[in-house]
């Protein structure tokens, strides 16, 4: 690999390749990040954005709020649940459409349709579907004699979060499906042929060929989904607004409430900085772990 790098490096310094991207991102993001960090440790006087340094006061105030515990629990349930459901649906869909059948293109596009619906429409549509008395779901259940299954999906604190989770999964699973499908295109057929010649059945093929080959993509999609679901907003806001009684309030709704309803930008920034610090800590741990395993490999 060293020879290769040297030869390519002679062609063009790596910076040229990376420059547009890094320039754009760092330029646009450095100011918001810097501003957020400053705000998190200050009392923000509006409208002049005059800052009075207060140290960790904002952090303490935010984390000592009563609802913090519930917000964290909801967020954890939401992120893990969303990822699980979206991955299950996405994998199922990707496996299904990886097989070439007649009309497969059309069916695939149908499964992509949820992704094409803007959130303002999908959130209001699902609200209509799940709402208790005039909703489509309950109405249909009652019409087919399954009225006992009708439930106050959004108004019952026990089911509110999960109901929104299903709606959100509907909207977002096509992304996972597409990524996995793209990844599956890269697995050469010969591997499967060799495997089935050795007598492996479908499940074994899946376990020992599909999954390992897809691992890098799975890891990336997992990572992206964690971050995206952490910031899920529209569905939750329209369907339940975080209710009832905070039963479906996740971190994103909480930060919105602190920032735009309470106008407490110091607090909202503190929350974001805390998230960032958490992410950096996890990243460093992961880095340390991969360094260790790298060391073991290098020692061979």
Partner 1 sequence: MKNRGDETMKKKKRFDRQGIMLVIALMLLASACSNNQVTGSSDSNTTNSDPAQQAGGQEPVTLTVWMGSWWADSAPKIVEAYKQEHPEITLKIELLPINGYLDKAVSSALGGNAPDLLDLDGLMIPSMVSKNLLEPWDDYVKDLDRSDFFDAPWEASTINGKLYGLPNRGESMVFFYNKTMFDEAGVSYPQEDWTQEDMLEIAKKITVPGQKYGVGIAASNSDPANVLTSFSPVLWSFGGDFLNEDYTEAVINSPESVKAITFWTELYTKHKVVPEGSVNFALTKDVQPMFLNNQVAMMPGSSAMVLLLEKNPQVKWGMVLQPNKFGRSGSWAFTIPVSAKHKEAAREFALWYVQPEIMGKYNAVFPSRKSATHVPPWNSEEMQYLLSAAPYQKILPPVPAWTEMQTVIVNELQKVLTQVKSPQEAADEMAKQMNALLKK
Partner 2 sequence: MKKRTRRAVRHTVVYLSAFLLCSFSLFPILWGLSTSLKPEHQLYVQPPKWIPDPVTLEHYMDVFKNKMMLNYFYNSAFIAVASTVFSLMIGILAAYGFSRFKFPGRNTLLWSILFTQIFPRVVIIIPFYVTLKNLHLLGTYAGLILVYLIVVLPVSVWLLKGFIDKIPYEIEEAAIIDGCSIFSLLWRIVIPMTFPAIGAVAMYAFILSWNEFLFALVFSSAETRPLPIGLAFFIDEVGVQWGQLMSASILMSIPAVVVFSLSQKLLVRGLSEGGVKG
* Subset of residues 219 to 238 that bind partner 2, contact rule: CB under 8 A: 220, 223-224, 227-228, 230-231, 233-234
The answer for residues whose C-beta is within 8 angstroms of residue 272's C-beta and 6 or more apart is: 36, 40, 255
Q: Which of 72, 115, 162, 192 binds partner 2 (CB under 8 A)?
A: 115
* Subset of residues 134 to 163 that bind partner 1, contact rule: CB under 8 A: 134-135, 152, 154-157, 160
Q: Which of 78, 91, 97, 153 binds partner 2 (CB under 8 A)?
A: 97
Partner whose binding site includes residue 94, from partner 1, partner 2, none (CB under 5 to 8 Å by kind): none
Nearer to partner 1 among residue 96 and residue 119 (C-beta): 119
What Cα–Cα distance (Å) separates residue 81 from each residue in 115, 236, 251, 258, 274?
19, 14, 15, 25, 23
Is residue 230 within 8 A of residue 275, CB to CB? The reply is yes
Q: Which of 74, 170, 209, 229 binds partner 2 (CB under 8 A)?
A: 170
* Subset of residues 253 to 282 that bind partner 1, contact rule: CB under 8 A: 257, 260-263
Contact status: 61 vs partner 1 (CB under 8 A): no
CA dist 173 and 87 (Å) reads 7
Residue 154: other Cβ atoms inside 10 A: 23
Nearer to partner 1 among residue 14 and residue 80 (C-beta): 14
- Give the DSSP H or E segment for 45: strand 42-45
Residue environment code for 133-152, b if the CB has 16+ CB neighbours within 10 A, otherwise e: eebebbeebeeeeeeeebbb
Binding mask 45-84 toward partner 2 (x if CB under 8 A, else -) reads: ----------------------------------------
Contact status: 195 vs partner 2 (CB under 8 A): no
Q: First and final CA of the chain: distance in angstroms?
A: 18
Residues of this chain that interact with partner 1 (CB under 8 A) are 26-27, 30-31, 33-35, 46-49, 120, 127, 131-135, 152, 154-157, 160, 237-246, 257, 260-263, 287, 291, 294-295, 297-300
């Amino acid at each position: 690999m060293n020879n290769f790098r040297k030869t390519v490096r002679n062609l063009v310094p790596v910076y040229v390749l990376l420059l547009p991207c890094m320039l754009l991102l760092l330029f646009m993001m450095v100011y918001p990040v810097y501003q957020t960090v400053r705000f998190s440790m200050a009392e923000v006087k509006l409208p002049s954005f005059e800052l009075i340094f207060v140290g960790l006061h904002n952090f303490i105030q935010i984390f000592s709020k009563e609802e913090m515990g519930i917000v964290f629990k909801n967020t954890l349930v939401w992120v893990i649940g969303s990822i699980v459901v979206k991955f299950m649906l996405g994998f199922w869909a990707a496996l299904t459409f990886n097989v070439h059948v007649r009309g497969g293109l059309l069916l695939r596009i149908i499964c992509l349709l949820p992704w094409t619906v803007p959130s303002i429409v999908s959130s209001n549509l699902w609200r209509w579907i799940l709402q208790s008395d005039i909703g489509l779901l309950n109405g249909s259940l009652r019409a087919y004699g399954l009225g006992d299954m009708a439930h106050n999906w959004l108004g019952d604190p026990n089911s509110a979060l999960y109901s929104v989770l299903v709606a959100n999964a509907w909207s977002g699973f096509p992304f996972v499906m597409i990524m996995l499908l793209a990844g599956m295109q890269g697995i050469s057929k010969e591997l499967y042929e060799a495997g089935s010649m050795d007598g492996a059945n479908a499940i074994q093929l899946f376990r020992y060929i599909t999954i390992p080959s897809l691992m890098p993509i799975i890891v990336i999609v997992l990572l992206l989904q964690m971050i995206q679901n952490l910031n899920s907003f529209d569905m939750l806001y329209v369907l339940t607004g975080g209710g009832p009684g905070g039963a479906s309030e996740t971190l994103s709704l909480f930060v919105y409430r602190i920032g735009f309803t309470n106008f407490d930008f110091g607090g909202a920034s503190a929350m974001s900085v805390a998230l960032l610090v958490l992410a950096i800590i996890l990243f460093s741990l992961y880095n340390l772990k991969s360094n260790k395993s790298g060391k073991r490999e290098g020692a061979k």
